[in-house]
A and B are shown apart, each in its own frame.
Chain A
Amino acid sequence: MKLSENPIFLTHKRLVHRGGVLAAVLIAALIGFSLLIGLLNSLSETNLGWNHRSPEYVGKSCYAWIIGVEILILVIGGFSRIARAMQEDRKAGLWDSNRLTPLKPSEIVLGYWLAPALREFYMAAVLAGFGLIVVLVAHLPVSLWLGTQTLILSTAFFCGLLGMLVGMAMQKSSGILFVLGLIFTYPFAFIAPGRILTNFLFPIYGMVNLFHVREHDWSRDTELFGLPVPAIVISLALQVAIGWFVWRVLVRKTANPFQPLLLRWEAISIFSILVFAQHALVWGGWNEAEYGSRNEQLLCITHGGTLLVGLAMLMLASRPPEQVRVEAMRLGLQSVAQIFSRSSVSLALALGGVSALAMTLQFYTHLANDLSRLGVAVVNLLNIFVIFSLLLEFCRLRHKRRSLGFAALWLFVLAAVPLILAGVFQSVEIARNCLLAPGFIALADGRDFPPLHTVNCFHLAIAVFIFFNWRRQWQKLLQRAA
């Protein structure tokens, strides 16, 4: 079916147009026009306002403003608009109503992906037009315009897919979540801009790199596993790869909303792409004198990022026990061993294995003398993933609707209480018992820490203890199913 015949697209386009687009387009035009006038004025009277800056600098500044507004409107606004359209249609029952038509799931997804943010697209198109004029007037390379506009458009499509995912999976407004995500991730991203993945997935580095700024951190060539690859290519490849998985999720959930958000192999694939890409970015840093000292810090950031992404994957891919129980009834499964492959614990082990492999590659190539640090970090990572997945499922089985609170409580006890007690008693020894501590300590400090192995063993014992309780809860549930 052509897009021009897709009823979802046509209806949402109609709704956008009915809400009015002219005023929005005029606002965008006024912003672009003001910046263009400012540029023309500064080019004719260079002493005014711009403090003797070159025409190139003024042109870049004006164009940077234009793409800033474009990102705000198209990427952030578009994300929010698409998420809201999905949430509203789901709440009103229109999503189900559309699913009951013979439209293919991909056609439904396409309609929701492309139409609700059309107003934002028109505004961005007007701004892009003014951006081109600014680039031409300031005699900047057209490749700057072409590169930045490509990245903005690809990011808008990518964030549109994420917006749909949020709209499909969440009930309440997702804006806060998005902002919190940005606030949390971006401070770390500026420590070494060219070596942190988020700067490529949301292509800040690629855009700034195209401006050829003087700061070395933002202007150096990017590498993957030490091989030079243009930043724009890394960004586009990452967005296409992750976007493809998100598209699959959306289409599958539209066809059958009772499936988990992520299939296990999808979770492992996404996790692998992100983890290996991050390690590939850090890879070349060991050979540069200026980065060598910073790479210890980057390893810690990579470890933290791996934990965050891994825990998110575990949450998204783990199925509620009730769903597993119903499946167990359908398939006649009766033993916990059969459940194990369907539980998030096996997924936790798989994710742990992937991150261990990536980290081992990094250590063997660049830190072959420091393998004990690797051992501590890998075991800690596995402990965290396994304990998290065991706790999540145990609390879901044991506490049902109150599971989230109890899971948070136990994680707080394991991860935060040792730090609080360490502060109270001013003891580093206590702080080491924090669930998160061994990996970070080992990666941040080159010295071997024998006590960290003991702490890892202690955490492993906790994991075994939770495992037995987890197994008992599953046995109870399976007995009920039988």
Chain B
Amino acid sequence: MSDPLLAIEHLRVDFPEVVAVNDLSLVIEPGDVCGLIGPNGAGKTTTMRAISGLQEFTRGSVRVAGHELAREPDELKRRLGFMPDFCPTYDQLTTWEFLEHYARAFAVPERAERIEECLELTWLTDKRDSLCEELSRGMKQRLVLAKTLLPNPQVLLLDEPASGLDPLGRIELRKILLQLRDAGKAVLISSHILTELSGFCNKAAIMERGRLVKFGTIADLGHQMSQRKISVKWRTAADKALEILKISGAKILEASAVGATFDFDGGTDALDELLKTLVTQGVRVAEWRGVGDDLEQIFLQSGAKELM
């Protein structure tokens, strides 16, 4: 079995008066986009800085594509791209010159072509000759993203990447992340705005006070939650369907002639059995979906606080 692209084991970061990250372990495979979720001060940025080597950690290990940070920091630098939550740019350089600086530093082959590609990918081609200081915050954010993508890293750490982007920018960011996912990259993306992450994260890591509260695929985490909210729509036999739901122990929240929303305490198997019963009893089910099988629901049920 090949190494995961990013493997963190028992990571601990101590600050003078507080344990910023405590015993954090997670694994991210190729093609994973993992949302690192948590309230302010949960330790998301510290975790990312520790993974990238910018923050010293007390214990634990970080491996990127099999290379351990403590032993092979240079190998790690070639394989990992870190986009911080602010935009470090040389204000007096043009966007092209800024990218050229990093292309040289990473010894990117066919520098000019790659810079053009990254500018195009982040919709900055028409700003190639603008000074960095003339760019808006959102544009700077895109420029730093372009810089992060420049050496084509296998693992990307994106700290609040959408915080300065307008709605269109966020949609485009989502497209880029989906492209990266399809290209087999591993992406760890932090945010406390959950709607930003919904839709393209297949994994989630929920942090609170430096600890990892939950980690897994979105589907698994949804299933782990003790109580699930289900929405069902039917075309026939509404009365019969409602009766089956009541018998199965579902707590009906809303009901109408065409469907219902209910809370269900049973596990995944019991839920599957319920659906099977409805169908075999002649209820024509038109729609069956979990409400809140998304990050927001998972986050709320994880016990973490201060959700935005």
A residues in contact (CB < 8 Å) with B: 5, 7-8, 10-11, 14-15, 18-19, 92-94, 96-103, 256, 258, 322, 325-326, 329-330, 400
Q: Is B117 an interface residue (CB 8 A)?
A: no
Segment of B29-37, B99-107, B184-192, B235-243 in the binding face: B99-107
Task: Name the A residues within 8 Å of B74 (CB-CB).
Answer: 102
Q: Is B52 an interface residue (CB 8 A)?
A: yes
> CA of A100 to CA of B54 in the docked complex: distance in angstroms?
8
B54 touches which one: A5, A92, A99 (CB < 8 A)?
A99
Task: Name the B residues within 8 Å of A19 (CB-CB).
Answer: 92
Q: Does A322 contact B16, Cβ atoms closer than 8 Å?
A: yes
Q: Tell whether A14 pairs with B93 under 8 Å between CB atoms, given A102-B77, A326-B14.
A: yes
> CA of A117 to CA of B88 in the docked complex: distance in angstroms?
22
Give A253 Cβ to nearest chain B Cβ, in Å: 13
Q: Is B97 an interface residue (CB 8 A)?
A: yes
Residue picked from B90, B97, B100, B105, most chain A C-beta under 10 Å: B105
Give A189 Cβ to nearest chain B Cβ, in Å: 40
Q: What are 22 of the A-B contact pairs (CB < 8 Å)?
A: A5-B104, A7-B100, A7-B101, A7-B104, A10-B104, A14-B97, A15-B90, A15-B93, A92-B88, A93-B88, A94-B88, A97-B84, A98-B105, A100-B53, A100-B80, A100-B82, A101-B106, A102-B74, A102-B107, A256-B56, A322-B16, A329-B14
Task: Name the A residues within 8 Å of B53 (CB-CB).
Answer: 100
Q: Does B59 contact A330, Cβ atoms closer than 8 Å?
A: yes
Residue picked from B58, B74, B90, B92, most chain A C-beta under 10 Å: B90
Given A7-B102, A7-B104, A11-B97, 6 more A-B residue pairs with CB atoms under 8 Å apart are A7-B101, A15-B90, A100-B82, A102-B107, A325-B14, A400-B16
- Which 8 pairs from chain A and chain B are nearest by CB? A93-B88, A101-B105, A7-B104, A258-B56, A322-B16, A7-B105, A11-B101, A94-B88
Q: Does B84 contact A326, Cβ atoms closer than 8 Å?
A: no
Q: Does B92 contact A15, Cβ atoms closer than 8 Å?
A: yes
Task: Name the A residues within 8 Å of B93 (CB-CB).
Answer: 11, 14-15
Q: Does B58 contact A326, Cβ atoms closer than 8 Å?
A: yes
> CA of A326 to CA of B19 in the docked complex: distance in angstroms?
11
Q: Tell whether A103 pairs with B92 under 8 Å between CB atoms, given A93-B84, A326-B58, A330-B58.
A: no
A11 touches which one: B14, B52, B90 (CB < 8 A)?
B90
B residues in contact (CB < 8 Å) with A: 14, 16, 52-54, 56, 58-59, 74, 77-78, 80, 82, 84, 86, 88-90, 92-93, 97, 100-102, 104-107
Q: Does B78 contact A97, Cβ atoms closer than 8 Å?
A: no
Q: Does B52 contact A100, Cβ atoms closer than 8 Å?
A: yes
Give B12 Cβ to nearest chain A Cβ, in Å: 9
B88 touches which one: A97, A322, A329, A400 (CB < 8 A)?
A97
Task: Name the B residues within 8 Å of A10 (CB-CB).
Answer: 101, 104
> CA of A280 to CA of B200 in the docked complex: distance in angstroms?
71
Give B245 Cβ to nearest chain A Cβ, in Å: 55
Q: Does B77 contact A101, Cβ atoms closer than 8 Å?
A: yes
Task: Name the A residues within 8 Å of B89 (CB-CB).
Answer: 92, 94
Task: Name the B residues within 8 Å of A256 (CB-CB).
Answer: 56
Task: Name the B residues within 8 Å of A103 (CB-CB).
Answer: 105
Give A191 Cβ to nearest chain B Cβ, in Å: 45
Residue picked from B52, B78, B92, B101, most chain A C-beta under 10 Å: B101
B106 touches which one: A15, A102, A329 (CB < 8 A)?
A102
Query: In chain B, what residue has the closest Cβ to A327?
Result: B58
Task: Name the A residues within 8 Å of B104 (CB-CB).
Answer: 5, 7, 10
Residue picked from A96, A102, A329, most chain B C-beta under 10 Å: A102
Query: In chain A, what residue has the closest Cβ to B83?
Result: A97
> CA of A448 to CA of B54 in the docked complex: distance in angstroms?
57
Give A252 Cβ to nearest chain B Cβ, in Å: 14
> CA of A65 to CA of B52 in the docked complex: distance in angstroms?
51
Q: Tell whether A96 pairs with B16 under 8 Å between CB atoms, given A11-B101, A14-B93, A15-B92.
A: no
> CA of A2 to CA of B77 in the docked complex: distance in angstroms?
21
> CA of A387 to CA of B203 in the docked complex: distance in angstroms?
56
Give B122 Cβ to nearest chain A Cβ, in Å: 17
Q: Does A102 contact B105, Cβ atoms closer than 8 Å?
A: yes
Task: Name the A residues within 8 Å of B82 (CB-CB).
Answer: 100
> CA of A329 to CA of B19 in the docked complex: distance in angstroms?
13
Query: In chain B, what residue has the closest Cβ to A321?
Result: B16
Q: Tell whether A100 pairs with B77 under 8 Å between CB atoms, given A7-B102, A7-B105.
A: yes
> CA of A314 to CA of B88 in the docked complex: distance in angstroms?
34
Q: Tell whether A96 pairs with B88 under 8 Å between CB atoms, given A11-B101, A14-B97.
A: yes
Query: In chain B, what residue has the closest Cβ to A255?
Result: B73
Give B154 Cβ to nearest chain A Cβ, in Å: 14
Residue picked from A11, A14, A100, A102, most chain B C-beta under 10 Å: A100
Query: In chain B, what residue has the closest Cβ to A96?
Result: B54
Give A440 Cβ to nearest chain B Cβ, in Å: 38
Query: In chain B, what residue has the closest Cβ to A259?
Result: B56
> CA of A19 to CA of B92 in the docked complex: distance in angstroms?
9
Q: Does B58 contact A329, Cβ atoms closer than 8 Å?
A: yes
Q: Does A18 contact B88, Cβ atoms closer than 8 Å?
A: no
Task: Name the A residues within 8 Å of B54 (CB-CB).
Answer: 96, 99-100
Query: In chain B, what residue has the closest Cβ to A97?
Result: B88
B86 touches which one: A14, A93, A329 (CB < 8 A)?
A93
> CA of A97 to CA of B14 in the docked complex: distance in angstroms?
23
Task: Name the B residues within 8 Å of A326 (CB-CB).
Answer: 14, 56, 58
Task: Name the B residues within 8 Å of A5 (CB-CB).
Answer: 104
Task: Name the A residues within 8 Å of B97 (CB-CB).
Answer: 11, 14
Task: Name the A residues within 8 Å of B102 (CB-CB).
Answer: 7, 101
Q: Does B58 contact A94, Cβ atoms closer than 8 Å?
A: no
Q: Does B78 contact A102, Cβ atoms closer than 8 Å?
A: yes
Query: In chain A, what residue has the closest Cβ to B56?
Result: A258
> CA of A10 to CA of B90 in the docked complex: distance in angstroms?
13
Task: Name the B residues within 8 Å of A322 (CB-CB).
Answer: 14, 16
Query: In chain B, what residue has the closest Cβ to A325?
Result: B14
> CA of A94 to CA of B92 in the docked complex: distance in angstroms?
13
Query: In chain A, what residue has the closest Cβ to B147?
Result: A97
Task: Name the B residues within 8 Å of A258 (CB-CB).
Answer: 56
Task: Name the B residues within 8 Å of A15 (CB-CB).
Answer: 90, 92-93
Task: Name the A residues within 8 Å of B86 (CB-CB).
Answer: 93
Task: Name the A residues within 8 Å of B101 (CB-CB).
Answer: 7, 10-11
> CA of A11 to CA of B88 in the docked complex: distance in angstroms?
14
